[in-house]
Structure 1
Amino acid sequence: MDRTERVTLTNMCMITANHQILVLDRKDPTWPGLTFPGGHVEAHESFHDAVVREVKEETNLTITDPRLCGLKQFYDDQNQRYLVFFYIATKFQGTVKSSPEGNLTWMTQEELLTHQLAENFDRDLLVYFDQTRQEHLLDGERDEPF
């Protein structure tokens, strides 16, 4: 029995400072709305290095000591597994600069929840904000953080 499958590996990072969260308003028409910076893990790249690189590319910030806090998994339109590793970073250097991915804004958690979020991102936030949850599973029949 083959125990391997094709998997897309990605990350997303909630950056916080002074009770505010750095939010990305994505321009991508396939997943528009507010979310956190992040992107794909490249071949032979560690998950840590990938989240540091993606945050730098999308925000101009260099994060240190990002903490893995959970994950999301679902199957894409080609029925291949898609994993998103969720990180939190509180230490960084640099000045925020928007990228072609979208505009960046600092918001409180309360402000974030009143804006147009990317699809299913409200469920992702449960993993970030509720330390008893570690995973968001989307599989067609289920859409639940646990």
Structure 2
Amino acid sequence: MEQMNRNTPVELTNMCMIYDDQGNVLVEEKVGKDYKGIVFPGGHIENGEPIVDSVIREIYEETGLTVSNLELCGVKDWVKEDGNRYIVFLYRTNTYSGTIQSSSEGNIFWMSLEELQAREPFWHMDKMIEIFCHKNYSELFLDGSHGNRVPILK
């Protein structure tokens, strides 16, 4: 019997919702040439790096804050046009220290979660907030089987 190759090339990333006791979240206004919008900070996982360590590193690099007590909320994932899979590990925490500072990736500031939810969604932030804030879902899959990527909460 022929064995199937189940190895799939994967790009691993992370994102973290940092929140306070007043209903605010730390957001990043991205300033890339191909995108502009408000998201939670995060980034790529380096080769051989533990996922939690990557979140701590990325948050520090992008915000100046040191985070701890990270809670894994779920994932956002999709299959890219080249067949590679893209996975974003979604974490949250309200444990942080330091002073916020913006980086070359974007402007960092506090915003009420209510105000963020009222904005035009960027990168499916409305669906990701469902994962960050509720226990109803653990995955946001962008289903590209019909051409456009349709966001599906699972």
Please tell me whether residue 14 in structure 1 is matched to residue 17 in structure 2: yes
Partner of 1:51: 55
Tell me which stretches of 4 or more aligned residues in structure 1 moved more than 3 Å.
none
- Say whether the 8 Å CA contact 1:71–1:134 is kept in structure 2: yes
How far apart, CA to CA, are the structure 2 residues paired with 1:89 and 1:36?
A: 12
- Normalised by the size of structure 1, how large is the TM-score? 0.94
CA RMSD of aligned residues (A): 1.3
Pick from 73, 82, 95 the counterpart of residue 69 of structure 1: 73
Aligned twin of 2:152: 144
Rounded to whole Å, the distance in 1 between the matches of 2:120 and 2:65 is: 24
1:12–1:79: structure 2 CA closer, same or farther, 3 Å change rule? same
The alignment of Structure 1 onto Structure 2 pairs a total of residues equal to 146
**Structure 2 gaps, min length 5:** none
- Matched-pair contact (CA < 8 Å) for 2:65–2:100: yes
Structure 2 residue aligned with 1:114:
118
Q: Distance in 1 between matches of 2:127 and 2:34?
A: 18
Does 27-36 or 80-89 show the bigger shift?
A: 27-36
What is the percent sequence identity of the aligned residues?
38
Secondary structure, in 3 states, of the residue corresponding to 2:19? strand
SS in 2 for 1:139: strand
Give the distance between the partners of 1:34 and 1:20, measured in 2 at CA.
14
Aligned to 2:84: 80
Match of 1:26 in 2: 30
* Bigger Rg over Cα: 2
**Whole-angstrom distance in 2 between the partners of 1:24 and 1:132:** 25
Unmatched 5+ stretches in structure 1: none
Deviation of 1:55 (Å): 0.2
CA distance in 2, matches of 1:145, 1:29: 29
